[in-house]
Amino acid sequence: MFDMTNQNTNGLLNNSVEPCSPTVAEATVTEIVNGETKPAKQFKKRTRRVREMNPDGTISALSAWTRTVSISDIHRFMECPGAYLMWAEGDKPGERTVGDAIGQAVHNEIAKPENERLTDVTKLLKSVPETERAQVAEQVKTLIAKAAAAQDRDEARSENTQKEPEPMVWFDSYTKTWWYAKPDVMSLSGDSKGRYLLIVDEKTTKGRRRNHSSAAFFFAIVARESKALGFTGTIKTVIRYLRDFQGNILEEPMEDSRFVSGRALNERHEQELHGIQATIKKMDETWESGRFALRDGGHCRGCQFRMSCPKNREWLEARQAERLAAEGARASVANDGETVETQVSGNQLEAA
């Protein structure tokens, strides 16, 4: 079993959420939220659920697949199919991590025109512990300023700039799925070599992950195939890192730029595309079976569903039972000590 010693087990038994233990046969396609019946994927508001684990370590689907995929879906599925299912079926996530809260706040604010941005960003940081909130708010303000300045520079040499554009959609006939992609910024730009479609993905994390470049590639493919902004030429993707490897906010963002041809894909890009399609085929098979494995590991610490996931709850409950047993044993040793002392005193009195 993996090490989850940093997880908080307090409040575990105080969960008032209704348990949910569907089997594939019992699965329903629609659910009722606020009096309205809707497919699970269309929920604006997510539903609090505590799922039960099947004996084979999986959880069961409640609904049929909508056959839509985003790159986050793909990454989530690769890390833990169970976490992907909970996200895809509209389960309510638990508390966000501080890093997630920062990323969300920065993305929300830079998408707005400057005069509409919040002056007090602490409102966006309610999930951050109060003791850290003021310091985190300062970081968010600096990150917004840095990202906005970089966007302004892009905008000055581009046309048709779209911040937080509508999602691009493309139907992939090989996997028979709809691919959705929503970069932070998209525009028509160019340099001395010619025009290109610029796609920017901003990152507030200190880590540089393989996932970041595969997300940028996915955006480029959907843009290329859907002819985003009516453009059919080269696509330039930019991953814009706002922090260094130690987590310090960079004076000038670090950019990782790549190009994808609007004509034929090169061999490396062909392979990358086949890799994405192979993963989607696995997703399809898993939806077909209706059973999604709960793949635990170090990533559980940052999982949005760690408090409702049955596998993680099992681990947390076992740790809580161990703690209670240890406390009970300590109390019993202390009581035995007192009893012995009382007996010794009684014997001493008798002897006297």
The CB-of-120 to ligand SF4 minimum distance in angstroms stands at 33
Q: Which is nearer to ligand SF4, 239 or 300 (CB)?
A: 300
Q: Which is nearer to ligand SF4, 235 or 300 (CB)?
A: 300
- Going by DSSP bridges, is the β-strand pair 68-69/177-181 parallel, antiparallel, or unpaired? parallel
CA 250 to centroid of chain Cα atoms: 24
Q: Which is nearer to ligand SF4, 203 or 306 (CB)?
A: 306
**Binding status of residue 121 toward ligand SF4 by CB under 6 A:** no
**Binding status of residue 286 toward ligand SF4 by CB under 6 A:** no
Could you give the 3-state DSSP secondary structure of residue 300? helix
**Binding status of residue 300 toward ligand SF4 by CB under 6 A:** yes
**Could you tell me which of 115, 95, 91 has the C-alpha nearest to residue 104?**
95
The CB-of-304 to ligand SF4 minimum distance in angstroms stands at 8
> Which position among 50, 62, 83, 88 is part of the footprint of ligand SF4 (CB under 6 A)?
83
The CB-of-285 to ligand SF4 minimum distance in angstroms stands at 19
The CB-of-221 to ligand SF4 minimum distance in angstroms stands at 27
Backbone angles phi, psi at 170, to 5 degrees: -145, 140
DSSP 232-271: -S-EEEEEEEEE-TTSPEEEEEEEEEEEE-SSS--HHHHH
Task: Specify the stretch interacting with ligand SF4 by CB under 6 A; choose among 108-116, 225-233, 255-263, 302-310.
Answer: 302-310
Q: What's the CA dihedral at 256, 276, 110, 299 to 10 degrees?
A: -90
Q: Which is nearer to ligand SF4, 128 or 303 (CB)?
A: 303
The CB-of-203 to ligand SF4 minimum distance in angstroms stands at 21
For residues 207 and 305, give the distance between their C-alpha atoms in angstroms, rounded to a whole number: 22
**# of chain residues touching ligand SF4 (CB under 6 A):** 14
Task: Specify the stretch interacting with ligand SF4 by CB under 6 A; choose among 9-17, 78-86, 91-99, 210-218.
Answer: 78-86
Tokens linked to 132: 């850290």
Under DSSP, the state recorded for 306 is: T
Note whether 9 and 18 are within 8 A (CB).
Answer: no
CA 308 to centroid of chain Cα atoms: 15
> Which position among 69, 198, 294, 316 is part of the footprint of ligand SF4 (CB under 6 A)?
294
Q: How many helices (H) and strands (E) does the chain have?
A: 7, 14
> Which position among 188, 283, 309, 316 is part of the footprint of ligand SF4 (CB under 6 A)?
309
CA 142 to centroid of chain Cα atoms: 23
Task: Specify the stretch interacting with ligand SF4 by CB under 6 A; choose among 110-118, 193-201, 279-287, 292-300.
Answer: 292-300
Note whether 184 and 165 are within 8 A (CB).
Answer: no
> Which position among 227, 299, 323, 330 is part of the footprint of ligand SF4 (CB under 6 A)?
299
What does the binding site for ligand SF4 look like in residue numbers (CB under 6 A)? 80, 82-83, 294-296, 299-300, 303, 305-306, 309, 311-312
